[in-house]
Amino acid sequence: MTSRFLVTGGAGYVGSHMVLALLDAGHEVTVFDSLRTGHRAAVPAGARFIEGDLADLPLLDRVLGDGPWDCVFHFAALSLVGESMEHPMMYMSANGGLGFGLIDACVRNGVKRFVFSSTAALFGTAGDGPIDEDTPVDPGSAYGESKRVVERALYWADRIHGLRSACLRYFNAAGADPQGRAGEDHRPETHLIPLVIDAALGRRPALTLFGDDYPTPDGSCVRDYIHVTDLAQAHLAVLPLLTDRSVTFNVGTGRGNSNLEVIRAVERVSGLPVPWKAGPRRAGDPASLVASPARLMAATGWKPEFTDLDRTVETALAWRKVHPKGYGA
């Protein structure tokens, strides 16, 4: 059965892969995006596109009033940890404040289900992991805090108005659509895998790793790299649960890879050396973030298909080779 979905931030990295997953499943999709960080070319031809800002509440009401909507998927956000530590109020306003406005508009317009793209940055210095849903929330950055306040707003929207929500706290989205239809293009690019790939391809200077003295096996940060296609499928998998309750899940592979292991993976897959050097730590970065997706898997039957880092890198490298300038090519 065809359903209607609204995807905020659907012109961004994770959002565009969510749109592909919904279209592949035969659904009707509308993308709402300001294009502040997204790309019009990332929106698949099968989706309706509305250029708009979440701060424009009259426009938001018109869009949501054109229902019914089976669910709103909320990806629109600022997402740079380092930047959030320089401009915390900008992040609290853009992610928290505009998130509150979207939730309120959903309530006004009768939306019953809401899936929120949250973050593992909620856990700050949680330790070596794997991190489950019982791990105390203690954001180590303003970015993490800006996501936390939206989770709390959703709690109250459920308790008072019955808006069922899923908060998916995921770790490091990585890779590209295996069919080559979408990929990663941040400006500036801050995610490790595309940066390492570009260094290997000679498209950027030697890579600087932020910190080589963390309490990890090789001194570099450890992260759980979940393929962006697996991540989109996780968002789909939680929808049936929202019939009668709200849920919160950690999403990942359950396996961590260090920054140096990412470099080695790119070298193996590409056959090219990666020039790099060590730099100082970046404010707000915990040593290790690795998810325990056990509860999500038990509740939905979802499981990641891309559990090997090399496979994830292969998809990212293939897209990067074809799109040397990202969506600007």
Residue positions annotated with a catalytic role? 143
Residue 79 CA, distance from chain mean position: 9
**DSSP states of 238-303:** TGGGGGT--EEEEES-S--EEHHHHHHHHHHHH-S---EEEEPPPTT--SEE-B--HHHHHHH---
* CA–CA gap between residue 219 and residue 242 (Å, rounded): 41
Rounded to the nearest 10 degrees, the angle between the axes of helix 192-200 and helix 309-322 is: 60
Q: What is the largest CA-CA distance in the chain?
A: 56
Q: Retrieve residue 295's tokens.
A: 């509860």
CA dist., res. 191 & res. 185, Å (int): 10
Structure tokens at 326: 């990202």
The Cα–Cα gap between 11 and 192 comes to 21
Tokens (6 digits) for 227: 């393929």
Q: Which amino acid is at 90?
A: M
127 CB-contact burial (10 Å; exposed 0-12 / middle 13-18 / buried 19+): middle
Eight-state DSSP code of residue 41: G
Between helix 57-65 and helix 98-108 the angle, nearest 10°, is 40
